[in-house]
Amino acid sequence: MSAGPSTMDALLARFRYRPDEESAGLVELPASPLEPDQRTGADELQLLTFGLGSSEYAVALGAVTEILRARALTEIPRARPPLLGMLNLRGIITPVYDPALRLGIPSAVPVCAGPDCERPPRAARILVVRTALGPAGLWVDRVRGVQRVRSGALERPSGGPTGGIVGILRTVDEPCTVVDPEWLLR
Amino acid sequence: MSADSHALDVCAFWVGETVYGIDVARVDEILPRVVPLPVTGAPPHVEGVVHVHGTAVPILDLRRLLPEGTPPRTAKPKVILARIGRRRVGLRVDGMAGVRRYGEAEIQPGGPVACVLGVTADGCRLLDLRGLLTNRAAEAGAGQ
């Protein structure tokens, strides 16, 4: 054998597996982000716009975890508006609310829970939003898409009690009211 | 010092026309057929990720990290699920060459490529797998 024992020990030390060996920097997958994410600056907002009746609304995209096609809900006895019913979302019981009442516009949600429920309209969706008390659903008439806007493009209410209205966005063809999803559920 | 105390159990595999070996203690599993999900923006040696028993494991193509040759005609590509520290990676290889045991005297230290620690008497190149993958294998890939 030509090599000294120290060379061989060093070789074996690098060859053998140890559960506590360092593996930092192994695969730099997180270091290769997708292009659009890099362009999201700190002053940029991503808004999910949706329609209720004839008007357009938006919530922060980060609050929405999922968009479901509207489906028949499970009836809750003595449920009062705005609670429509509940939904078993992969094992998590999720209440679904009608945001129209909170916004003071006439509700367009058909009977969607119980034995005499109707087939939901094709465009209707349920936005699953993250709240302090767990996930909750918002029944909306249609989902329009995601808008990226600069924070300055939002017209914010100037003082006074604003309720859950975060601002009004006028860059889209129709003015769009940006609301706080938690306020819609309260 | 008996030869047995330093005997190495090596999991050997083909990459191109060369046999490489890693410590058998690193190997969890050999997967015969794997279709990884591609990862956008990943480096070229990352084939993608697969779900293995509920965890996402990156699949790294050793043929892109090591100086490869033409795969032998009997190539049966496999994925070796190996451990590096507390992480798991999948290694794409051209075929398995069995588990071999080598005594210390059969190993000639040093190799033609940076991440090869030594070469055994029968031509199996012992890989420094952790060094190969953590250093992004810049030298190894350029070594051919």
Is A3 within the bounds of a domain? no
Is A115 within the bounds of a domain? yes
pLDDT at B140 over 50: no
In terms of CATH, what superfamily is B3-142? CheA-289, Domain 4 (2.40.50.180)
Best interface-test mutation with B: which of A23, A28, A37 has the largest number of B CBs within 10 A?
A23
Q: What is the sign of the dihedral through the CA atoms of B46, B48, B50 and B56?
A: positive
pLDDT digit string, tens, across residues A129-183: 988 888 899 999 999 888 888 877 778 777 666 777 888 888 757 788 888 888 8
Is A77 within the bounds of a domain? yes
Find the domain containing A157 and state its range: 40-185
Best interface-test mutation with A: which of B39, B50, B104, B108 has the largest number of A CBs within 10 A?
B104
pLDDT digit string, tens, across residues A69-121: 888 888 888 878 788 888 888 888 889 988 888 888 887 777 777 777 788 88
Smallest Cβ distance to A26: which of B23, B41, B134?
B134
Nearest Cα residue in chain B from A33: B41
Smallest Cβ distance to A23: which of B6, B8, B134?
B134
- For residue A179, what is the domain's CATH number? 2.40.50.180
Closest by CA to A184, choosing from A50, A10, A37, is: A50
Determine the distance in angstroms separating the CA of A18 from the nearest CA of chain B, rounded to an integer.
6
Is A118 within the bounds of a domain? yes
Inspect the interface and report whether the beta carbons of A21 and B134 lie closer than 8 Å: no
Is A6 within the bounds of a domain? no
Nearest Cα residue in chain B from A14: B128
pTM metric for this prediction: 0.49
Is A112 within the bounds of a domain? yes
- HEC readout, chain A: CCCCHHHHHHHHHHHCCCCCCCCCCCCCCCCCCCHHHHHCCCCEEEEEEEEECCEEEEEEHHHEEEEEECCCEECCCCCCCCEEEEEEECCEEEEEECHHHHHCCCCCCCCCECCCCCCCCCCCEEEEEEECCEEEEEEECEEEEEEEEEHHHEECCCCCCCCCEEEEECCCCCCEEEECHHHHHC
Say whether residue A33 is in contact with chain B using an 8 A CB cutoff. Answer: yes
Nearest Cα residue in chain B from A21: B85
ipTM of model over 0.85? no
Tokens of B111: 């190799």
Is A31 within the bounds of a domain? no
